[in-house]
Structure 1
């Protein structure tokens, strides 16, 4: 509960209630509200009421003794007052909220760092810092020991990333029937710059970390906490807090108190690769294959991935987009392609030449060629363990996608389409892991232990088994 106002109209403060739910987002209910409608004089002494935009880039507030900034606000419903230019009440939705600061604009350079906690980050970090020691020579003798882990660092184009660990000292909780004690270790990644940056600059770092952990753990991981640090000038010159909490509407609703994914079931952890290598490499890989990552990792975040037809198109298109991002040489040398194209066009009647030019617009690989090449890029032992007959898979995936995209239906049955989706996603992920430099032995271990990859292996063996020599 508090008061809210537009940045250029601080004297017009409206009482209201701001609520936040990770899966539902930010809602502001005002007693009163804001309207940019105005009466415009017309001819003959009449007036015309302009329409309202119902959108505000920023709203400032003060609630629960905290300065607040709401970003990208839009009216959900409102009730006009009698003048038609004022509001009686108004409900809004905001995309983002900063608790602890008021900034003039999203692109204002106000923050020196952002810290993010993601589900399963602590398990992925694989810190051997908390152990239980049992003395077998002394009955009933054991102790819990914590060795504070040192931070690990990586450099991403001038931004320093720190993988740190925050500890809570064990606390004894006496009850009438027992005595319990608890302690806690929480991992976080903080990105820090030597010069202030805007919220718009820092926000993508959060999504990069979320995608990396979700890909490595092979499960959707929600964002537990996002905390910004104001620049020295902002902190000393305003009422800003030392730690600014950022709240957004999350696609994956975090459940930090639920059991985490066992690190042994992950595709890879920091036991298998160095933090200083994998984080900068992931930034580069994700940027190069952004469309592919959005389709494959994005599908993990959806509770309902949609109809099977759309899943087939998305999975195979992700593979196609990945091959395009590798920028392979064209199937025919460019000069030869132009010569052949011009010769064919010139051989046709004038009224048919434009039609052929459009048909031969691009010197591109076919989808089948792209899938064949994509499956040949990772380590051959890994692909052999995943896919006994790559050529048969490429043919089936091509027919399924082209049938849906070009003919409106696929001749494949539902079980085959499900296999195409599952195996194609696994092939794409194996290419991403190969680009990250994940060790081959770890990937082969994951193919034998990870639930989703095991399913891909089983479906590949069922639908595209190895062809025996001479068969």
Structure 2
């Protein structure tokens, strides 16, 4: 049996017996299939009872509308235990009263599968370790086990050279009792003899290993860790990155509560549908398309900062990364998302200062309300808020990153803040943006997104030198700066 993790971009099939945990004596043969585009489907020769029934009196069965769903289905296939979660019947074919008696058939769809363990639920703390591989992780790690040597006496290559393997030291960071480790796994040398050539090959895989010191993890925890790593690499590379594989280690009984007997640590593979399925053999991004790697921000520094940011600024991060994972086809949707991300990010920084001191605002509000008829006071009270405006928030965000880097991206902060506020307010309050051309709206989306990203990179601790390199050298941000110069500067508009 292969020890390689099951890649989420590869199809799989497992034929075996399947049963409900509460009724292990009723086992149904069937085949579980996984397809990257379609997910998990269990085809049964036989069926689980999916009708919703009651028996008000002995001998009387009432069938109600709707179908049953099953939180967990267990199976045994290809010499491995399998657990399916989030299961519901897609189709059922019964043969009651048929002229020729044949087996029932049923198709069940599952959201998640564990290949290698029987678990009672997605929240059961049963795993000692989570291992995650996502796209671009090796590039971001800026390390590899391979070293190459090309012989070039007198400055001229003579056709000889070598590739050697040198183990890479594991980098680790601990965050609130959880240890994150950046590790490498490589294959042994393999020589593929072909008819016209011989190919020598080794594979180096970078992955993140997550271990809790004080307690075991659940499947829900593992998928959360995968999302945490996926979002970090997506921010660092400024592109949608997919999850390639997730592998768990089943903990022994001393690390889990309620387990039965000693369970040796063994590999358990996770099959589910992340936001993007990673392709392990796809070509990596080029250096100029990556914001930062572990060379610019070491792993032991970035992980604690990212864990704090991901929890504290998750809504803003989700919104701005959503523009990479699922960009809308219409600029209006992207405008609301980008500006919303900026507003939410400012709130997440917890730097709101009321425009009017509270000691002055409260008596002012009460004095104004005293002039309003009683029946309208509550409505007006809700409108009299002492919060920063959107323009205030945009100015504040522009002041946080490195000034030189921000000025390259946004040469005229005042006009960007005013035009962005006008566009958002027109769209939100009037349902249209009659005062903006399409190209200006697109520039507003890109510039606002860039400001949010620059703030996130600054919050991670990226140096001012690297921030300046990014806005000068990254193709997307260079294009954004040109758009800002064309559409969001007063000098251009007046010329």
Partner Cα separation in structure 2 for residue 202 and residue 20 of structure 1: 20
Q: Secondary structure at the match of 2:153?
A: coil
Structure 1 residues 92 and 299, CA, compared in 2 at 3 Å: closer, same or farther?
farther
Structure 1 residues 80 and 340, CA, compared in 2 at 3 Å: closer, same or farther?
farther
Mean CA deviation greater in 15-24 or 117-126: 15-24
Partner Cα separation in structure 2 for residue 63 and residue 244 of structure 1: 14
Q: Which residue of 2 aligns with 1:162?
A: 181
After TM superposition, the runs of 4+ consecutive aligned structure 1 residues lying more than 4 A away are 238-241
TM-score (norm 1): 0.93
Q: Which residue of 1 aligns with 2:464?
A: 440
Counterpart among 389, 392, 396 of residue 369 in structure 1? 392
Q: Secondary structure at the match of 2:149?
A: strand
Q: Which residue of 2 aligns with 1:22?
A: 36
What's the offset of the Cα at 1:255? 1.4
Q: Which residue of 2 aligns with 1:102?
A: 118
Partner Cα separation in structure 2 for residue 23 and residue 46 of structure 1: 44
Q: Which residue of 2 aligns with 1:197?
A: 217
Q: Which residue of 1 aligns with 2:8?
A: none
1:307-340 deviation digits (Å, cap 9, x = unpaired): 2211111110010001111222222222322211
Q: Secondary structure at the match of 1:164?
A: strand
Residue segments in structure 2 that go unaligned for 5+ positions in a row = 1-14, 98-102
Partner Cα separation in structure 2 for residue 430 and residue 397 of structure 1: 17
1:5-63 deviation digits (Å, cap 9, x = unpaired): 111011111222211123322122222322252243379x9753233443211111112
Tell whether 2:141 aligns with 1:125.
yes
Q: Which residue of 2 aligns with 1:288?
A: 312
Q: Secondary structure at the match of 1:309?
A: helix
What's the offset of the Cα at 1:345? 0.5
Partner Cα separation in structure 2 for residue 319 and residue 382 of structure 1: 18
Partner Cα separation in structure 1 for residue 106 and residue 32 of structure 2: 12
Q: Which residue of 1 aligns with 2:357?
A: 333
Partner Cα separation in structure 2 for residue 246 and residue 122 of structure 1: 21
* Preserved CA contact (<8 Å) 1:161 1:192: yes
Partner Cα separation in structure 1 for residue 420 and residue 130 of structure 2: 42
Q: Which residue of 2 aligns with 1:146?
A: 165
* Preserved CA contact (<8 Å) 1:40 1:49: no
What's the offset of the Cα at 1:466? 6.3
Tell whether 2:56 aligns with 1:41.
yes
Q: Secondary structure at the match of 1:51?
A: strand
* Preserved CA contact (<8 Å) 1:165 1:185: yes
* Preserved CA contact (<8 Å) 1:226 1:245: yes
Tell whether 2:366 aligns with 1:342.
yes
Q: Which residue of 2 aligns with 1:12?
A: 26
What's the offset of the Cα at 1:437? 0.4
* Preserved CA contact (<8 Å) 1:389 1:466: yes
Residue segments in structure 1 that go unaligned for 5+ positions in a row = none
What's the offset of the Cα at 1:204? 0.8
Partner Cα separation in structure 1 for residue 53 and residue 277 of structure 2: 41
What's the offset of the Cα at 1:264? 4.3
Structure 1 residues 99 and 307, CA, compared in 2 at 3 Å: closer, same or farther?
same
Q: Which residue of 2 aligns with 1:171?
A: 190
Structure 1 residues 355 and 17, CA, compared in 2 at 3 Å: closer, same or farther?
same
* Preserved CA contact (<8 Å) 1:98 1:246: yes
* Preserved CA contact (<8 Å) 2:440 2:488: no
Q: Secondary structure at the match of 2:23?
A: coil
TM-score (norm 2): 0.88
Counterpart among 239, 242, 245 of residue 219 in structure 1? 239
Structure 1 residues 401 and 8, CA, compared in 2 at 3 Å: closer, same or farther?
same
* Preserved CA contact (<8 Å) 1:99 1:244: yes
* Preserved CA contact (<8 Å) 2:83 2:114: yes
1:203-236 deviation digits (Å, cap 9, x = unpaired): 2111000000011011111111100011122799
* Preserved CA contact (<8 Å) 1:102 1:240: no
Partner Cα separation in structure 1 for residue 18 and residue 172 of structure 2: 40
Structure 1 residues 62 and 238, CA, compared in 2 at 3 Å: closer, same or farther?
farther
